[in-house]
Amino acid sequence: MVNISHNNKVTIERISASENSLFWKYYFRHNIPVIITELNHHFQVDFLQWKHEWLIQQFGQYEVEVSISDNSRYGYIEDEGFNRSKNVQLKTFVNALVDSDPHYQNTYLTRAGLDTFAPVNIQATLPAPYHDQIEKKIIAKNLWIGGKGNITSTHFDPVENFNIQIEGSKQFILHSPNIDNFYPHSIWSSAPHFARVNVFDPDDETFPRFQKASLPIMGILNAGEMLYIPINWWHTVSSLESINVNLNFWWINNFKMLKYPRHTVRALSIVLQRTLAGEKVA
């Protein structure tokens, strides 16, 4: 686990999956992150069986694009840009993680849309009380598979997020959506949603406003649990086990996008740049 230098931190609250009306009325409505536990005590959740052995069996032959990092950081890295990547069969990648193959030590399957595995039509459906509210608004379902020590750099996404831990565990550090205190990259850059400040070891001289940022809200997401990350919340994610598998659901919330015009303009800049470059947008 990675420590951060703030003396005060707040722990992400937990509620049971069966408390779904509390989730919608309180946490979702007021943009409060929460970990939803006991998903499969109360509901049948088929994708919770997608542990690495099962994924190899089902989709092992498909090629995936894994990110490469020399310093365990993933996403957009100061002075480096986005990670390099390479294509590899899913089974080669996952077996290498299991065997701690040094050639794959610095790799992470990030943001792999389930459509990567087409033509298999993979269904991943949340329990009804959650699924029914968001089904039509989902824009991406992504798999994340990686080993211990990977860190996804601090960024926000202009969408609501249910991130489900299928195997392993991850530490999430969340901050509320203030833009200026995090010194994001320029709106015209390819990463206007990535912070320049290092939340683990902030440089107060270069980034003085970070001291005014809200307290970090931190929690460990364990297998079988689902984290709600409200739209535009900053998140920094560390992988804690030798194999970590997550599935996240990103979904649009038009009403809340209007409430955060500065984030939304940054989102539009990403959409425009990726569309012009012929890249995947979500």
Chain-centroid distance of CA 240 in Å reads 14
Interface with ligand AKG (CB under 6 A), residue from 66, 237, 257, 267: 237
Binding flag, residue 144, ligand AKG (CB under 6 A): yes
Q: Closer to ligand AKG at the Cβ: 31 or 163?
A: 163
Name the segment binding ligand AKG (CB under 6 A); options: 65-73, 129-137, 156-164, 211-219.
156-164
Query: Of all residues in this chain, which one has the CB nearest to ligand AKG in the complex?
Result: 152
Concatenated DSSP letters of 27-83? IITTT--EEEE-HHHHS--GGGG--HHHHHHHHTTSEEEEEE-SSSEESEETTTEEP
Helices 52-59 and 90-98, interaxial angle, to 10°?
160
For residue 15 the two structure tokens come to 């509620």
Name the segment binding ligand AKG (CB under 6 A); options: 18-26, 83-91, 157-165, 269-277.
157-165
Binding flag, residue 210, ligand AKG (CB under 6 A): no
Interface with ligand AKG (CB under 6 A), residue from 31, 37, 106, 161: 161
Q: Closer to ligand AKG at the Cβ: 59 or 250?
A: 250
Q: Closer to ligand AKG at the Cβ: 37 or 209?
A: 37
Alpha carbon distance 87, 43 (integer Å):
36
For residue 254 the two structure tokens come to 């038009």
Least distance in angstroms from the C-beta of 92 to ligand AKG = 21
End-to-end CA distance of the chain: 29
Interface with ligand AKG (CB under 6 A), residue from 152, 176, 181, 232: 152
The three-state secondary structure class of 61 is coil
Binding flag, residue 163, ligand AKG (CB under 6 A): yes
Binding flag, residue 83, ligand AKG (CB under 6 A): no
Q: Rounded to 5 degrees, what angle do the CA atoms 226, 227, 229 make?
A: 145
Rg (alpha carbons) of the chain, rounded to whole number: 18
Least distance in angstroms from the C-beta of 119 to ligand AKG = 26
Binding-site residue total for ligand AKG (CB under 6 A)?
A: 10
Alpha carbon distance 57, 115 (integer Å):
17
Least distance in angstroms from the C-beta of 162 to ligand AKG = 9
Chain-centroid distance of CA 26 in Å reads 22
Q: Cβ distance 179 to 262 under 8 Å?
A: yes
Binding flag, residue 157, ligand AKG (CB under 6 A): yes
Q: Cβ distance 149 to 244 under 8 Å?
A: no
Which residues neighbour 274 within 8 Å (Cβ) at sequence distance 6 or greater? 280, 281
Least distance in angstroms from the C-beta of 243 to ligand AKG = 13
Q: Closer to ligand AKG at the Cβ: 7 or 138?
A: 138
Q: Which residues bind ligand AKG (CB under 6 A)?
A: 144, 152, 157, 161, 163, 170, 235, 237, 246, 248
